[in-house]
Amino acid sequence: MEDIIKVCALGGLDENGRDCYVIEINNDIFVLDAGLALPDKTIPGVDFLLTNAQYIISNKDRVKAYIITHAHDENMGALKYFYDDAPAPIICTRFTKHIIETQFNFNKLQGTLDFRVIPPSCDLEIAGRKFHFFQTSHNAAYSFGVAIETSRGNIVYTSDFIVDYSVKNPAYIFDIKALAELSEKPTFLLMSESKGANYEGYCAPRHKVTPLIERYFKTNRRIFIDCFWQNSIRISEIIDLCIENNKKIYFYNDFTNHIMRGLMEFDRNRIPPSIIINKEDLLRVREQELVILMLGDGEDLYQELIKIAEGNNEDKRIRLNKRDIFINAALATPTLETIATRSVDNLYRTGSEVVWLKKNQITAMHPRQDDLKFFLSVLKPKYYLPVRGNFINLMANARLALSMGIGLNHTNVFILDNGMQLCFNEVGRPSILPNNPAIMPTHPILVDGRGVSTSVSENIVSDRRQLSVDGVVVIALTVSLGEKRIIAGPDCQMRGFVYVKEAEPLLKSIANIFVEEITLALSLDKKDFEEAKSNAQERIRRFIKRENGREPMIIPIIVIKD
């Protein structure tokens, strides 16, 4: 009897981040990655968008393992928020385990995690089923893809990868031998990432930052350099440049020190202790020998750049001057471009030489068309499912597969949305089930407050969005129930709506509407003013919309006196 297979995404399709793919084989569930995403400007006041794990929690008895392919938040960041509700073995490398534990410790999160540490290339049996892991080249150390054996053939999930034959560092090699061994068995379904599918050629070697910045390390000037803390390959390049050019390195703040000390503990031979400058020795090192490394996460890193550019950073011994070189090696994602540009603009104002690396100089470490063709030509899958990326990326990946001439066509290449299920029953052709939000909700869980899982309702997000665009009108008065009259007010305040000094007629009209509704409620002996407030809100909303086309948030307040 053939295995019954269902494949769906709880996140990661038609979006960047929140990657989470659920593979159901017969009665067993295997979860591939559990990530988060950063919000854009349309979701104010939110720190993270999490994978919605309700389906996993509802079926926790069937979950046999979480397979975390590498140490990036978009692949592992949501796990800590729901793991206690649906525990299962976490399959990952020692490096990924180290980063997950580092996050837990730094954010003071509690919980016991069941890790099963594996080499990036190996074979493992989980719930009586064989899994084959193969190391991939990515900017997170020791990343891997995975192949799951079924009676129909292998289900292969590439996760992030590029094809790079030149890598010497064992943490970032692409294990072609392991992939070749997989090709000896039929590939039933290939799930390949799509973020770079719109671009021609290979990603390598344009992902390397060293050729762009090594000349600055040969100068006799102090260097500042920033980097996202999860981009371990870029940190590795910076360390190598320091070693090759006899530079000393100083960890800019507590966060950077925490991350780098953790990396040094993980690999004690990677960074010579002799090149590390402690805090008390900072002023004893000649400027021309010093590299100051700044690590951060998302918007926090750019905020720190603004602080140092304005001289508001915590360590007053560190000041940018005209003799310094500042290398911005943290390439902004689309959600961070505004604050990234502002931070670099501030850096230019310091007079230091700013080296602003741009996306047209460095390619993100995601497979381009020739990288994807390599996997397709080696594995020759029976079915193909593009994953990881916006719809335009998924479509480009699908079109590429159709052009390969390896038997893929419109009947065996699938473009899905989050929550849709690709089903392979005992017999017959594959079918696609539409998303049923009641069974498998996929809307993101919104978190505000770092390290605290707080679900933020869509109503609150809508209110925040409305506030940011149209502002707010607050109108208040006091009534006496005994006297059945208004005894104070109304007081009307506006923020982010119109210039108050030019809005006296508008304010007077809004106040009159509110007074009319409350006076009517008092005349009817009503002690509950919710209906009156609701009527006032609607009348005021229509009035303002008619007068100037805006729809601010309207907050009526009534203080009741006996």
User: Does 87 reside within a domain?
Assistant: yes
CA-based nearest residue to 129, from 197, 209, 29, 215: 29
CA dist., res. 193 & res. 196, Å (int) = 8
**Which pLDDT does position 97 carry in this prediction?**
92
User: Does 466 reside within a domain?
Assistant: no
22, β-bridge pairs: 8, 31
H or E segment to which residue 492 belongs? strand 485-495
Say if strands 28-32 and 20-25 run parallel, antiparallel, or are unpaired: antiparallel
**Which pLDDT does position 495 carry in this prediction?**
73
CATH of the domain at 446: 3.60.15.10
Number of domains the chain is built from: 3
- Given 426, 458, 490, the domain boundary residue is 458
**Which pLDDT does position 501 carry in this prediction?**
55
Say if strands 20-25 and 5-11 run parallel, antiparallel, or are unpaired: antiparallel
Q: Give the burial class of 113: count Cβ atoms within 10 A of its Cβ; 0-12 exposed, 13-18 middle, 19 or more buried.
A: middle
Calculate the CA dihedral of residues 407, 409, 411, 416 and round it to 10 degrees. Answer: 120
CA dist., res. 165 & res. 218, Å (int) = 28
Structure tokens belonging to residue 340: 């990234």
Same structural domain, 227 and 333:
yes
Helices marked H in 380-443 = 391-402
Instruction: Kindly report the length of the chain.
Output: 562
- Given 458, 481, 499, the domain boundary residue is 458
Same structural domain, 239 and 287:
yes
CATH of the domain at 278: 3.40.50.10710
Structure tokens belonging to residue 203: 């990603």
User: Does 217 reside within a domain?
Assistant: yes
Domain that holds residue 429: 5-202+364-458
Say if strands 153-157 and 187-193 run parallel, antiparallel, or are unpaired: parallel
Question: CA geometry: angle at 296 spanning 293 and 297, to 5°?
Answer: 160
Same structural domain, 239 and 302:
yes
Q: Give the burial class of 382: count Cβ atoms within 10 A of its Cβ; 0-12 exposed, 13-18 middle, 19 or more buried.
A: middle
User: Does 414 reside within a domain?
Assistant: yes
Same structural domain, 183 and 137:
yes
pLDDT tens digits in sequence order for the chain, 562 residues long: 788 999 999 999 998 889 999 999 999 999 999 999 887 665 666 778 888 899 999 999 999 999 999 999 999 988 888 888 999 999 999 999 988 887 776 655 556 789 999 999 999 999 999 999 999 999 888 999 999 999 999 999 999 999 988 888 888 999 999 999 999 999 999 999 999 999 999 988 888 899 999 999 999 999 999 999 888 899 999 999 999 999 999 999 888 888 888 888 777 777 888 899 988 888 888 988 999 999 988 788 899 999 999 888 888 888 888 999 999 988 887 777 888 888 989 999 999 999 998 888 888 889 999 999 999 999 999 999 999 999 999 999 999 999 999 999 999 999 999 999 999 987 768 999 998 888 898 888 877 654 444 444 455 555 555 555 567 888 888 888 877 888 887 888 877 665 555 567 788 888 888 888 888 888 887 777 888 888 888 888 888 877 777 778 888 888 888 7
CATH of the domain at 552: 3.10.20.580
Same structural domain, 552 and 495:
yes
User: Does 386 reside within a domain?
Assistant: yes
**Which pLDDT does position 108 carry in this prediction?**
54
Same structural domain, 229 and 180:
no
The pTM is what? 0.79
Q: Cis peptide leading into 490, omega within 30 of 0?
A: yes
CB 74 within 8 A of CB 17: yes
What SS3 class is residue 333? coil
- Given 336, 356, 376, the domain boundary residue is 356
User: Does 463 reside within a domain?
Assistant: no
Same structural domain, 440 and 485:
no
Same structural domain, 21 and 155:
yes
CA dist., res. 343 & res. 332, Å (int) = 11
**Which pLDDT does position 287 carry in this prediction?**
87
Same structural domain, 496 and 431:
no
Same structural domain, 184 and 278:
no
CB 213 within 8 A of CB 355: yes
User: Does 77 reside within a domain?
Assistant: yes
| Residue 240, CB-side half-sphere exposure with 13 Å CA sphere | 14
In 33-143, the DSSP E strands lie at 36-37, 48-50, 63-67, 90-92, 115-117, 122-126, 129-135
pLDDT digit string, tens, across residues 97-106: 988 887 776 6
Same structural domain, 486 and 549:
yes
Residue 19's Cα: distance from chain center in Å?
Answer: 9
Phi, psi angle pair for 13, to nearest 5°: -100, 130
Same structural domain, 415 and 530:
no
User: Does 465 reside within a domain?
Assistant: no
